[in-house]
Structure formats: structure tokens, C-alpha cells
Amino acid sequence: MKEFLKNLLSTNGRLNRIGFLHSFIFMLCLFILLSIVNREYIRHTDGALTIYLYINTLQSILLLALWTPSIIKRLHDLDIRGNRVWIPWAALLLDAHSLMPLNIHFAALLEQIQPLLFVFYLVVLVFYLALFLQSGTAGINNWGSPPE
């Protein structure tokens, strides 16, 4: 577990599909735990909607920041530069619900172009599916030898 947590924050090397699945399961469990804590906190607080939106936004940013190194290493395993990590970050930044506490006018604009954003979210979903389903390059590539 200590090795897993150390590797979770590193962007060096490559990450195979199984390792990527493990990091996804870890992030999903963390997301569920944070959601339960958020819900229980909101249940006992006045002004719940505003606090919920702020905490939900921070939770999303935190989880994606923690998962970003895994995405980069998975891209390295596919022999792709890690700068493609902007795709899931753009999806988070263009989420109207995450932007509501920051700027209500910008969030309202994003609500108007929701069909276009839906297409973009489908692209993000395909991106994640490709990361899960595509096998890594065989042998040594630009980012090192294959993961064990």
C-alpha cells in the first residue's frame, strides 16, 4: 500500500491497464467517502446549497489532481505525451455546476451551450475508455520499460 501511494503521485514511468484500474478504484472509493462526509456535513449546516457547491468543486479538483499522475503515466504507457491530460481537466473546468460558486454568469452561459458540452463530455468518456481498454506499447518506449 505504501508503494501504491508513493507511485500514485509520481508522473515518472508507465502504468499498465491493471495499475490504472487500481488507481481508478482508489479514487472512486475516496470520492464516495468524501461524498458521504460532505452529505453528512451539509445535513447539519445552514446555507447548505452554497457550502455543498464549494465543497463539491474542491472535491472534484482534489480527486482529479490526485488522479492526474496516473493518467499521465497511462498515456506514457501508450507512448503518448502526458500533456493530453488537459482533456479531463477541461471537462471539469467546463462543468457548469462546478463553476456556479465561482461565477454565476459564466455558469449560466455554459448552461446555454449544454448540448455542445455534452458532445465534449462524450469525447472525455471515450478518452477514459481508451485509457482503460487500449493495451500499452510492447517493449521499451520513450518513457521506459513496460510496467510489471
Does 138 map to a domain?
A: no
Does 57 map to a domain?
A: yes
Each residue's pLDDT tens digit, 44-58: 776 666 677 777 777
Query: What does the mean pLDDT of the chain come to?
Result: 79
What pLDDT does 61 receive? 79
Classified as helix, coil or strand, 7 is helix
Does 139 map to a domain?
A: no
Number of domains in the chain: 1
Summarize the confidence of residues 68-96 as an average pLDDT. 81
Each residue's pLDDT tens digit, 86-128: 887 777 766 655 555 555 666 667 677 778 778 888 888 888 8
Classified as helix, coil or strand, 144 is strand
Enter the pTM of the model.
0.75
Angle between helices 86-93 and 48-77 (to 10 degrees): 170
Q: Measuring CA to CA, how many Å separate 48 from each of 11, 113, 121?
A: 37, 27, 28
For the chain, percent of residues with pLDDT exceeding 90:
1
Does 87 map to a domain?
A: yes
Range of the domain at 93: 2-133
Does 20 map to a domain?
A: yes
What pLDDT does 38 receive? 77
